[in-house]
Amino acid sequence: MKKISLLGSTGSIGVNTLDVIERYPENFQVCALSAGSNVELFARQIRKFKPALAALFDTTKVDALKKLVADLDVEIVSGQEGSVSVASFSEADLVVSGVVGSAGLLPAIAALRAGKNLALANKETLVIAGELVLKEAALTNTKIIPIDSEHSAIFQALNGEKLERIKKIILTASGGPFRTFSLKQMENVTVKEALNHPNWSMGAKITIDSSTMMNKGLEYIEAKWLFGVETNVEVIVHAQSIIHSMIEFVDTSIMAQLGIPDMRVPIAYALTYPDRFESELPSLDLATMGDLTFEAPDYERFPCLQLAMDAMEMGQTLPAVLNAANEIAVQAFLDELIPYKDIAEIIRMVMHNHRPVPLKELQDVLEADRWAREEATKLITVTH
């Protein structure tokens, strides 16, 4: 029986993780849960999975949660400290991080420091502090198992292979809802249009990131940290989202991982690794798929992808600044404070105004994150 601590249980990754766990009651047990602010759903999850520890990030709603689960034997904690407690919970064998954004960094660090293997769906953890996170994992000899479908694909294709034999990693991107839009069309897209992803069902923030291709930019940075910063990483648009990523080896052989576009597949692999369990999900039917297509990304229409690559190239605190500015700009777009086309421009301006410094300790990341959020907010206020 593998005991699981789950961070971000009410989000898309969290809900899907619990769905997978529920399918294998003899193999997995939830020992700790954390959530943001969705009290009603969180209370139902606590009642169903009966964790010993539960953390609610929103401290203003803790009393409401306690009332909803007053008859249960569960310890309720809150805030950032609560999330860290769930991540480092002594009973856990594996910590799953499904938290959205930079809020996942401190719990991930806590999990690794506690000697817990980390199943990571929160790409921002490696984007903003990859060097520091990998050092923590090395110190405790813990594994980071990627859940993102692209990185899970690479992780699976590398099974039994050597990192030094990689010639190139090929990250596939769906292209999002605006893959065929012109620059003129993209000037006036609405929030509703941007949230209408053609293949995947995800949370609002990651769906917007997919539409701007910033999500692929963040995955580019994550891949560099997971599989070697010197490794050549290429992005290619694959609209059908069937090939989740590929590796070209030095002998020019290419290995690809294919599957239905359902996050429960990579989640299940992360939970069962190094084993695989039989799944009730539908198999991929290649005969009915038709054509699988590929095209180069358009950096003019999707400038966020290039901004992420530039941030990784320059390194130091710039990826943390990129990520924070993106989080602020995406939320401003969702709140209809800025037009869609200004997401990339806000990020570009914040990066331009930043003076990168080396990442020597966690505080350097947190300070860069704080500065970028303030700078992005100021730019949005002044220009809009």
* Inter-residue contact 292 to 242 (CB < 8 Å): yes
**Tokens 């010639």 belong to which residue?**
167
User: Could you give phi then psi for residue 170, rounded to 5 degrees?
Assistant: -115, 105
Burial of residue 89 (number of CB atoms within 10 Å: 0-12, 13-18, 19+)? buried
Length of the chain: 384
CA–CA separation, 22 and 69 (whole Å): 20
pLDDT of 229 reads: 85
329: which 2 tokens? 């700009």
Count other C-beta atoms under 10 Å from residue 384's C-beta.
11
pLDDT by residue (tens digit) across 283-304?
Answer: 999 888 889 999 999 999 999 9
pLDDT by residue (tens digit) across 192-205?
Answer: 988 887 776 677 88
pLDDT of 100 reads: 84
Per-residue pLDDT at 128 exceeds 90? yes
Whole-model pTM above 0.75?
yes
pLDDT of 156 reads: 96
Q: How does residue 213 score in pLDDT terms, banded at 50, 70 and 90?
A: very high
Q: What is the CATH number of domain 2-146?
A: 3.40.50.720
Mean pLDDT of 347-376: 96
**What is the identity of the amino acid at 66?**
K
**Tokens 């919970």 belong to which residue?**
89
CA–CA separation, 180 and 95 (whole Å): 39
Mean pLDDT of 42-59: 97
Mean pLDDT of 86-104: 94
pLDDT by residue (tens digit) across 28-44?
Answer: 999 999 999 999 999 99
**What residues does each domain of the chain span?**
2-146
User: Could you give phi then psi for residue 107, rounded to 5 degrees?
Assistant: -60, -35
Q: 3-state DSSP call for residue 185?
A: helix
pLDDT of 9 reads: 97
Q: How does residue 46 score in pLDDT terms, banded at 50, 70 and 90?
A: very high
281: which 2 tokens? 């999900």
